[in-house]
Amino acid sequence: METKDDTDRGATTVPRMTTSSANLVMVALRRSPSCAHNKRFVVCDRSYVPSRSIIRRASSSTSTTTDRNGGGNNENDASDSSPPSRPSPEPSPSSPSIDLPSGDDDKGFIMRRLYEIAKPERTLILASAGTLAVTSSITLLLPYACGQVLDAAILEATTGGGGDEGFSPLAVSLGLFGLTGTAGLGVYARSLMLNVAGNRIVSRIRRRLFASILSQDSAFFDANKSGDLISRLANDSWYVRSAVTTEAVSGLRGVVMSAGSTSLLFYTSPTLAMISLLSIPPVFLMARVVGRRLKERQNSVQKLHGKATDIAEEVFGGMKTVQSFNAQGLEYDRYATAVTAAHDKEVDVGKIKAAFDGVVHVAANGAVLLVMGYGGTLVLAGELSAGDLTGFLMYSLLMAGNVSSLSGTYTEVMKSIAAAGRLFEIIDRVPKIPSSFQNTGDFGSLDGIRLDPFVRGKHKGSISIKFDGIRFAYPARSDALVLGPDFSLDIDAGENIALVGGSGSGKSTISLLLTRLYNLDSGRILLNGQDIADIDPAIVRGQVGVVSQEPLLFSGSIYDNIRYGRPSASDAEILDAARAAHVTHFTDALPRGLETQVGSRGTQLSGGQKQRVAIARVMLKDPPICVLDEATSALDARSEYHINQALHAMTKGRTVISIAHRLSTIREADRIAVLKGGRIVETGTFDELIRLKSTFHRLVEQQLTNS
């Protein structure tokens, strides 16, 4: 009897391609009515029109939104052969993950999507299924041959050699062994092909999911924890792999073998065949009930695993804080509770599966025993030969084994469907802020991924900024207005404006809105008079460089992190930026210089060093608008002086928003805007605002008192 195929795990790296959209920048920022095309967007003055292919695909998506911020202008799947559509649930801030509607429609939808995913590997999968013709035929031949050999041997023994001339059971066995060797080769080929197809599929799913996650808006990441997303990438995609490869072929083998052995049972003895099939209806009935329950519970299992992964991820990222608070015990309990809940739920799933397996086993083997009892009676009555009964019993066992294996396949497929549902709810999610970073959506050509965030073309002149009647609350805290109801501020092209205000007044939020990381509740942000809601966000972000309070570096070298600002920069340009941002001041003393590794999230550098690398990164990007969010907060007085010189040189001729508490930074500004209660309450030069003796005066007094 054949064994279940299995394949090894594997992963593939994501290929990345870049294309230039520099020409779009000029068009996007020009005031005169004009349009330009890139692959996903048609950028027109004051209009943001989805390209034809997007319109075509969007019409197949029932979840497309039409808000003015562009939520409806984009969708994830750019496949020419659009996958089947279904409503794409939007995660709400309070309930980040979405339960899939259970039911046959949903199951059918997921199965069709799984088919889409597996399609590029159809040759391998079909070829591996094709090996079934050889392996199953040989396996089905064996019981028949055994029956014939047994009858011939009995005849030989009872007639004292009067049977077939030269009959040799050993020779027949050797001949059959040759056939079994051929079947072994078929099993080998099948296992190998499924392994290759499975790994390609899981790699494709992971790339597709990762690309989809990268396209999502900031509100999505506020609502969905990274651990849950990682769990979907790692675990759910793995479950899906088996459904479309190993289990699909295993199911097909089960069907072929069950059908083949059933036919041969009927051929040998219709009455006995009817008896042996008695077990099938109850197994089918139970499978339906079990399948539905398994799918629901597996969904919960995966969610709980996501929560546990989230805790682990958070703890590993903040290990120093955990240790300094001696909170290992606390974190252990948190993780243990989450992981135990996940495993308890998994045990629940296991109980259902175990009960099903048990019933199937009893039903299948019970049928064999019935056949043995009734068939033995027929042999005694001389109505059936011993050889025929032997062959029959072997076919019954074969059928019982395959029905059992089919039940296992069924439960695995149900789990995979639950996992696939969790993948598709993200893959199909239409980001609220359209992203031109999309993969092609065609599962067969993911290598066409474009990483537009790295495509940098810059507007040559400086850019004016207008915040016009803005109202904004974070989607995760929609009842707490941060800016507005009517936040307005005009910043001239090339102006250096300092934004001051109390902690939590919304200063950093302004830079997030300027780079369109969130949609506004109402109002507009205009760059050179053009609403950023009408421009591809990648182009908007290309014009703005932000050095934030807590810059994030990525694992790799200092050199790699600076190059992040402009991947196409030459070594000389990277070195210039490193010098200008005083990075070389500390790297010159390090054995590996700029090649020094920074560790995950840059944890192997000091706060001041990280900030200098982040400044060099923006210097290399060289954007027309700079937002310096407490850019020098982590530097000592000497470094701050040098960095300020460098920033001064860098910001010349550019529009600069300095979010600052320090008087030294504020004094540098052409103008100061004071933010309070969600609006600008004062603007003017340092001296003008001091003379006003109002909010700014009080802020400065407070700072002087505290210093």
CB of 701 to ligand ATP, least distance (A): 18
Which region, judged by CB under 6 A, interacts with ligand ATP, from 45-53, 176-184, 433-441, 474-482?
Answer: 474-482
User: DSSP of 352-384, one letter per residue?
Assistant: HHHHHHHHHHHHHHHHHHHHHHHHHHHHHTTSS
Q: How far is the CB of 71 from ligand ATP (least distance, A)?
A: 19
CB 33, min distance to ligand ATP, A: 35
Closest separation in Å from C-beta 473 to ligand ATP: 8
Residues 673-702 that bind ligand ATP (CB under 6 A): none
Tell me the two tokens of residue 685.
Answer: 């030069």
Question: Closer to ligand ATP at the Cβ: 318 or 567?
Answer: 318
94 binds ligand ATP (CB under 6 A): no
Is 24 or 499 the residue whose CB approaches ligand ATP more closely? Answer: 499
**Closer CB to ligand ATP, residue 481 or residue 575?**
481
**Segment interacting with ligand ATP (CB under 6 A) among 1-9, 463-471, 498-506, 600-608:** 498-506
58 binds ligand ATP (CB under 6 A): no
User: Which residue, 93 or 366, is less far from ligand ATP as judged by CB?
Assistant: 93
Q: Is residue 504 involved in binding ligand ATP (CB under 6 A)? A: yes
Can you give 604-657 as a three-state secondary structure string?
CCCHHHHHHHHHHHHHHHCCCEEEEECCCCCCCHHHHHHHHHHHHHHHCCCEEE
Among 128, 299, 509, 530, binds ligand ATP (CB under 6 A): 509
Site for ligand ATP in 333-392 (CB under 6 A): none
SS (H, E, C) 566-600: CCCCCHHHHHHHHHHCCHHHHHCCCCCHHHCECCH
Cβ-contact 450, 17 below 8 angstroms: yes
Which of these segments, 64-72, 243-251, 325-333, 503-511, binds ligand ATP (CB under 6 A)? 503-511
Contacts of 471 (CB under 8 A, 6+ apart): 481, 483, 484, 485, 486, 487, 520, 521, 522, 523
# chain residues binding ligand ATP, by CB under 6 A: 13
C-alpha 357/C-alpha 351 separation (Å) is: 10
Out of 508, 528, 633, 658, point to the residue binding ligand ATP (CB under 6 A): 508
In whole angstroms, how close is the CB of 476 to ligand ATP at the nearest point?
Answer: 4
> Could you tell me the smallest distance in angstroms from the CB atom of residue 472 to ligand ATP?
9
Using the minimum distance from each CB to ligand ATP, give the nearer residue, 254 or 501: 501
- At closest approach, how far in Å is the CB of 475 from ligand ATP? 8
Choose, by CB under 6 A, the member of 9, 31, 56, 477 that binds ligand ATP.
477
Work out whether the CA dihedral 545, 551, 552, 554 comes out positive or negative.
Answer: positive
Q: Reduced to 3 states, what is the DSSP secondary structure of residue 405?
A: helix
- For ligand ATP, which stretch binds (CB under 6 A), given 153-161, 471-479, 587-595, 686-694? 471-479
Does 433 interact with ligand ATP (rule: CB under 6 A)? no
To the nearest 10 degrees (0 to 180), the angle between helices 280-317 and 328-380 is 160
Shortest Å distance, C-beta 32 to ligand ATP: 35
| Range 393-408 burial, b when 16+ CB lie within 10 A, else e | bbbbbbbbbbbbbbbb
How would you class 215 by CB atoms within 10 Å of its CB: exposed for 0-12, middle for 13-18, buried for 19 or more? buried
Rounded Cα–Cα distance for residues 277 and 398 (Å): 13
Tokens, residue 110: 């997921």
- Segment contacting ligand ATP (CB under 6 A): 134-142, 283-291, 429-437, 500-508? 500-508
**Is there binding between residue 551 and ligand ATP (CB under 6 A)?**
no
- Told to check if 501 binds ligand ATP by CB under 6 A, we report yes
CB 651 within 8 A of CB 618: no
> Contact with ligand ATP (CB under 6 A): which of 326, 503, 705, 706?
503
Binding ligand ATP (rule: CB under 6 A), the pick from 280, 476, 493, 681 is 476
In whole angstroms, the minimum distance from the beta carbon of 477 to ligand ATP comes to 4
Mark out the alpha helices in 428-533 (DSSP H runs): 507-514
Minimum CB separation from ligand ATP for residue 498, in Å? 13
CB 245 within 8 A of CB 201: yes
Minimum CB separation of residue 96 from ligand ATP in Å reads 13
Query: How far apart, in whole angstroms, are the C-alpha atoms of residue 120 and residue 200?
Result: 9
Least Cα distance to 475 among 222, 706, 648, 678 occurs for 222
User: Is the peptide bond preceding residue 485 cis, with omega within 30 degrees of 0?
Assistant: yes
Query: How many CB atoms neighbour CB 434 within 10 A?
Result: 27
Q: Does 275 bind ligand ATP (CB under 6 A)?
A: no
Answer yes or no: are the C-beta atoms of 221 and 186 closer than 8 Å.
no
Of the candidate residues 21, 505, 515, 528, the single one contacting ligand ATP (CB under 6 A): 505
Binding mask 203-242 for ligand ATP (x = CB under 6 A): -------------------x--------------------
Closer CB to ligand ATP, 443 or 472, in the complex: 472
Stretch that binds ligand ATP, among 117-125, 309-317, 499-507, 665-673 (CB under 6 A): 499-507
Q: Which residues have CB under 8 Å from 266's CB, separation 6+?
A: 273
Structure tokens at 701: 């007094």
Phi then psi dihedrals of residue 123, to 5 deg: -60, -45
In the bound state with ligand ATP, the residue whose beta carbon lies nearer, of 428 and 629, is 629
- CA-based angle 664:667:669, to the nearest 5? 120
Q: Is 507 in the site for ligand ATP (CB under 6 A)?
A: yes
Choose which of 115, 167, 210, 474 interacts with ligand ATP (CB under 6 A).
474
How open is the CA angle 441-429-99, to the nearest 5 degrees? 130
Q: Which stretch binds ligand ATP (CB under 6 A): 138-146, 460-468, 472-480, 601-609?
A: 472-480
Q: Rounded to the nearest whole angstrom, what is the least distance from the CB of residue 543 to ligand ATP in the complex?
A: 21
Longest dimension (CA), the chain: 127
Smallest separation, CB 617 to ligand ATP (Å): 21
Query: Site for ligand ATP (CB under 6 A): which residue of 29, 42, 294, 482?
Result: 482
CB of residue 634 to ligand ATP, shortest distance in Å: 14
CA distances from residue 333 to 141, 311, 323, 330, 408 in whole angstroms, order as listed = 58, 11, 15, 5, 35
Question: Hunting for tokens 């997921």 — which residue is that?
Answer: 110
DSSP 460: S
Which residues pair with residue 530 across a beta bridge? 527
Q: Which is nearer to ligand ATP, 198 or 475 (CB)?
A: 475
CB of 507 to ligand ATP, least distance (A): 4
Query: Where does residue 606 rank: exposed (0-12), middle (13-18), buried (19+ CB within 10 A)?
Result: exposed
Least distance from C-beta 626 to ligand ATP, angstroms? 17
Interface contacts to ligand ATP, rule CB under 6 A: 222, 474, 476-477, 482, 501, 503-509
